[in-house]
């Protein structure tokens, strides 16, 4: 039902599929540190596949249209809280991050509020890492050392400078949740420079 909804509003959805791949790779590397249950990986993948369907309604504030479409479509096999989590995570992929004070977030149980913020933090970065929609980033590799987290971005022979720039602008929520700096770095074979955002 998720794939059918994505196809209905986003067609081939190559960008959604690329973002889902990167988001789940980031999840696999960070879930234990963020305290995210393994069962939430699927919710992140689905939110990533659906995160841009709001463009079918309007490009401006498309994230809010995505929230509405996810909440009000017939997604079979999910309970209401799972649908709300997917909708909130998808809505939080750009601009304003999901805040604990948001009424929709407050309506969820405490553990699910944390889940929304953690998954949204990963989706925000994954979406930025396909900023051009050209599938430039081939893989990401995450390491933790010396009180920081390093996300190494491998774009092969392609230039990922724009993706790194965009991701650096979306790294703040992850840094806050981890309470440590997050470093975005191009893999050696990829042009581009390392970018650092300090946790606030």
Confidence at residue 194, expressed as pLDDT on a 0 to 100 scale = 44
Confidence at residue 106, expressed as pLDDT on a 0 to 100 scale = 82
What is d(CA 125, CA 180) in angstroms, rounded to the nearest whole number?
Answer: 16
**Whose structure tokens read 């079979």?**
76
Confidence at residue 56, expressed as pLDDT on a 0 to 100 scale = 67
Confidence at residue 10, expressed as pLDDT on a 0 to 100 scale = 85
Confidence at residue 67, expressed as pLDDT on a 0 to 100 scale = 87
196: three-class secondary structure by DSSP? strand
Residues 78-99: b if buried by 16+ CB within 10 A, e if exposed: beeebbbbbbbbbbbbbeebbe
Please give the C-alpha separations between residue 189 and each of 6, 157, 158, 163, 177, in angstroms, as whole numbers.
34, 6, 9, 15, 30
Q: In what order do the strands lie in the sheet with 148-154?
A: 139-145, 148-154, 182-186, 195-197
Confidence at residue 183, expressed as pLDDT on a 0 to 100 scale = 95
Confidence at residue 200, expressed as pLDDT on a 0 to 100 scale = 33
Confidence at residue 30, expressed as pLDDT on a 0 to 100 scale = 96
What is d(CA 190, CA 154) in angstroms, rounded to the nearest whole number?
Answer: 6
What's the predicted TM-score (pTM) here? 0.89
Confidence at residue 199, expressed as pLDDT on a 0 to 100 scale = 38
Confidence at residue 189, expressed as pLDDT on a 0 to 100 scale = 59
Confidence at residue 193, expressed as pLDDT on a 0 to 100 scale = 44
- Please name which of 124, 184, 193 lies closest in space to residue 153, comparing C-alpha atoms: 184
What is d(CA 86, CA 83) in angstroms, rounded to the nearest whole number?
Answer: 5
Q: Are strands 139-145 and 182-186 parallel, antiparallel or unpaired?
A: unpaired
**Grouped pLDDT means (10 residues each) for the chain, 200 residues:** 90 95 97 95 96 75 80 91 94 78 83 93 97 96 91 94 96 94 84 41
């Amino acid at each position: 039902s998720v794939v059918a909804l994505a196809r209905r509003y986003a067609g081939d959805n190559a960008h959604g599929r690329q973002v889902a791949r990167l988001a789940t790779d980031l999840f696999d590397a960070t879930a234990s540190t963020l305290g995210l249950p393994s069962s939430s990986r699927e919710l992140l993948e689905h939110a990533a596949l659906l995160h841009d369907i709001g463009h079918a309604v309007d490009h401006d504030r498309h994230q809010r249209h995505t929230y509405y479409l996810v909440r009000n479509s017939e997604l079979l096999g999910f309970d209401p809280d799972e649908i709300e989590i997917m909708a909130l995570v998808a809505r939080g992929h750009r601009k304003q991050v999901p805040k604990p004070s948001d009424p929709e977030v407050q309506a969820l149980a405490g553990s699910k509020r944390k889940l929304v913020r953690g998954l949204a933090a990963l989706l925000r970065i994954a979406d930025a890492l396909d900023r051009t929609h050209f599938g430039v980033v081939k893989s990401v590799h995450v390491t933790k050392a010396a009180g920081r987290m390093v996300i190494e971005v491998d774009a092969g022979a392609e230039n990922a400078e724009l993706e790194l720039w965009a991701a650096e602008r979306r790294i703040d929520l992850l840094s806050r949740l981890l309470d440590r700096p997050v470093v975005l770095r191009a893999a050696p074979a990829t042009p581009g420079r390392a970018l650092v955002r300090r946790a606030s």
